[in-house]
Structure 1
Amino acid sequence: MKKFWKIGLSAFLAIGLLAACNKKEEEPKSTTDVEQQSEQKDAKVDEATFPMTIKDVTGKEITLEAAPEKIISLIPSNTEILFGLGLNNEIVGVNDYDDYPAEAAEKEKVGSMEFNIERIIALTPDIVFAHEAGIASSPQMIEQLESAGVKVFVVKDANTFEETYTTIEEIGRATGKLPEAEKIITDMKAKIEDVQAKVANVEPKKVFIETSDEPEIYTTGKGTFVDKMLEMIHAENVAADGTDWYKIDTEQIIAKNPDVIIVTYNYVPDILTKIPQRAGFDTITAVKNNAIIQVDPNMVNRQGPRLAEGLEELAKAIYPEAFK
C-alpha cells in the first residue's frame, strides 16, 4: 500500500456509468412540475445551511455550527476538491505530497502517510478532512485529534465515479460550498459524456497499464478504478485476469501483446525509452508501433475534480485518432 501512496497516494476501483433508457415518450412538464423541481433544488442547496450535522464513512456524526474558517486536508484528492470549491483562504494545512494546484505548495505541510499530530493541533482547524484509505496507516491518529477537540471527517475511498461525486458533494456541504460542488459534478459528467461520445465507434484496443518500473512491475487488474475507466472508453485491460494492483513478469506482458502501453508513474527519467529496451519487448505491438504513452498519474489516481480529465487523457493516449 505504501508503495502506491508514494507514487499516486490513492488508487481507484471500479466504475460504471450506464444510463437507464426510458422507452416512454417524455411528456411536457407542467408549471407545477417545474415549480416542484425548483423547490427540490432549493431544498438541496439549503442543506448546506448551518448549524448542520454530517456523518462520515465511519458512521461518526459531526456537528458544525458554522462554515469552517480553518481547514486541513490529509490527502491530495481532498485538497484538490477543497481548492476546486474556492477554499484557498480557508485551507491552513495539507499533505506533504500535495502538488496541485500550485497554491497547495504554499500551505503548511502536516505529513504524508504518518501525520504530525502536534502540528495539526497547533493549526487549530475547524475541521480536518481525512480519507478512508489513509487512516489505515495511522489508526490512532483520529483518536488523538478528537481527544484534543479537533473534528475529523473521513471521506470514503471511492470505488466509482458516483462515489467520487458523493465525496465532492459531502465536502461541499460541510464547507458551505454545496452549489460550487454541484457545479464541479455537472462539469465532470459533461466531460465524461463528451469523451465517451468521441470513442463510441472506435475499434477496441488491448491496453497494458504499468504503475511501477522494473524490477517489480505492477499493473492494475480487475476491480481497480483504472480498469473500469478502460471499460468506459472501450479498451481491453490485458491485465484483467488478475485483481487489484499486482506484480507482473515481463514474460507475461510480452505474451499479452498489448496494442498500447500506458505508464502511470513519473519517477523514472526517460522511462519511455527504457521500456522498449527490455528483453523481448521488441515483439510487442505497442513497442513496434511506438504506442507507449505516459499520463499524469494524479489525473487517473486522485478521487477529485480532475478524474474526468484523467479519463480523457487515457482516451487520447489510446485512441488519438478520435481526438483529431
Structure 2
Amino acid sequence: RVISVAPNITETIFAMGKQDKLVGRTDYCDYPEAVSDIESVGNIDQPGVEKIVELKPDLVIASSIFQKEVLEKLEDLNIKVAVLQGEESFEGAYDVIGKVGILLNSKDEAKKLINDMKEKVELVKNSVKELDKPSVYYVIGYGEFGDYTAGRDTFIAHIIEMAGGINVADDVDGWKYNIESLLEKDPDMLICSRYFDSKQGIMNTAGYKELTAVKNGRVFEIDNNMLDRQGPRLADGLLDMAKIIHPEAFGETES
C-alpha cells in the first residue's frame, strides 16, 4: 500500500503499471485520468497527516518539496517515508524513476521506462542537430503580474536548446524577464502553456501584441506539466517542444 505525494512519482507508478499499489495521492496528481479514482491526501508540501494514517500505507513516497515537519510526524507514527530528490535534468528524472523501481520491486519496469525515454531523447537530438536554430521565448508569466520566462540556468532553457532552438532569455538567470528586452530581441516564436487561455491572453497583451511572432501567428502551446515534472513524460515534453520548433524534422505541419 503506497501513497505518492508528488505528481512525478504518481505518473511513474502508473507508467510502470503498478497503480494497484497506490492508495493515496495529492490534489496535484492529475495524470493519467484514472488517478482521479484514488483518494487524495491534500497538498504536495503539507499533505493531511490524519488522512495518510487513515489509509494505512506501507510506504509514502515524496519529493524534495515535502515539509520536514510532516516527515517527522509520519516517522513518529512509524510510517515509512522515502523522499526522492533528483536534480532537475534528464539524469535526475532517470534517477528518480530507478529509485521508484527499487522501492516497488519493479526494477525491470523502471529500466524499460528509462530506456524508452533515452530513445526519444536520442531521436530528438539526431533529428535537429543539422538544422538552423530559430529564437524561442518560453512564456511562463506575462502582463500585469510581471514577465516570466526560462532563464539560461533553468532546465526548460536546456530543453529548448536540446529541441533545436535558441533561448531568447539566455542573458538572464532565473525566471524574471522584461518586455523591453523581449521587444528588442523579437523572437521567431513564442511557446506557452496550453492551460489558462495563455495563448489568447498573450496575443491580447500590450507589448506582446507588437512582437513579430504574435503578428504572424507564431505562438504555440505545449503541455507544460510534461516539462515541469521529473517523470516519464519528460521525454515526450522534449519531443513535443522539438516538433513545435522543427515540425519539418518530424514530418509535421506547423499548427
TM-score, normalised to structure 2's length? 0.93
> 1:194 corresponds to which residue?
123
> 1:208 corresponds to which residue?
137
> 1:313 corresponds to which residue?
240
- What pairs up with 1:172-191 in 2 under 5 angstroms? 172-191=101-120
Bigger mean CA deviation after superposition, 79-88 or 237-246: 237-246
2:222 alignment partner, one of 280, 288, 295 = 295
Preserved contact between residue 211 and residue 265 of structure 1 (Cα < 8 Å):
no
The 3-state SS of whatever aligns with 1:111 is: coil
1:281 alignment partner, one of 208, 222, 228 = 208
Matched, 1:239 2:169: yes
Summarize deviations over 1:243-262 as a string: whole Å, max 9, x none. Answer: 1222x232232122111101
Structure 1's unaligned 5+ residue stretches are 1-69
The 3-state SS of whatever aligns with 1:129 is: strand
Preserved contact between residue 98 and residue 104 of structure 1 (Cα < 8 Å):
yes
Partners of 2:151 and 2:204 lie apart in 1 by 24
> 1:84 corresponds to which residue?
15
> 2:153 corresponds to which residue?
223
Amino acid at match of 1:129: I
Summarize deviations over 1:118-162 as a string: whole Å, max 9, x none. Answer: 101111111111101x12xx2301000000011111111422111
Matched, 1:128 2:55: no
> 2:6 corresponds to which residue?
75
Amino acid at match of 1:121: V
Q: What displacement does 1:279 show?
A: 2.5
Q: What displacement does 1:233 show?
A: 2.2
TM-score, normalised to structure 1's length? 0.74
Bigger mean CA deviation after superposition, 177-186 or 258-267: 258-267
Bigger mean CA deviation after superposition, 165-174 or 155-164: 155-164
Structure 2's unaligned 5+ residue stretches are none
The 3-state SS of whatever aligns with 1:304 is: coil
Matched, 1:165 2:86: no
1:144 alignment partner, one of 73, 78, 82 = 73
Bigger mean CA deviation after superposition, 176-185 or 313-322: 313-322
> Higher relative contact order by CA 8 Å / sep ≥ 6: 1 or 2?
1
The 3-state SS of whatever aligns with 1:108 is: coil
Bigger mean CA deviation after superposition, 89-98 or 225-234: 225-234
Q: What displacement does 1:265 show?
A: 5.5
Partners of 1:209 and 1:308 lie apart in 2 by 18
- CA change 1:122–1:100 in 2 (3 A) is same
Q: What displacement does 1:106 show?
A: 0.8
> 1:40 corresponds to which residue?
none
Q: How many residues align?
A: 249
Larger Cα-atom Rg: 1
Runs of 4+ deviating beyond 4 Å: none
1:118 alignment partner, one of 37, 45, 50 = 50
Bigger mean CA deviation after superposition, 206-215 or 301-310: 206-215
Greater helix share, structure number: 2
Q: Report the RMSD for the aligned CA atoms in angstroms.
A: 1.5
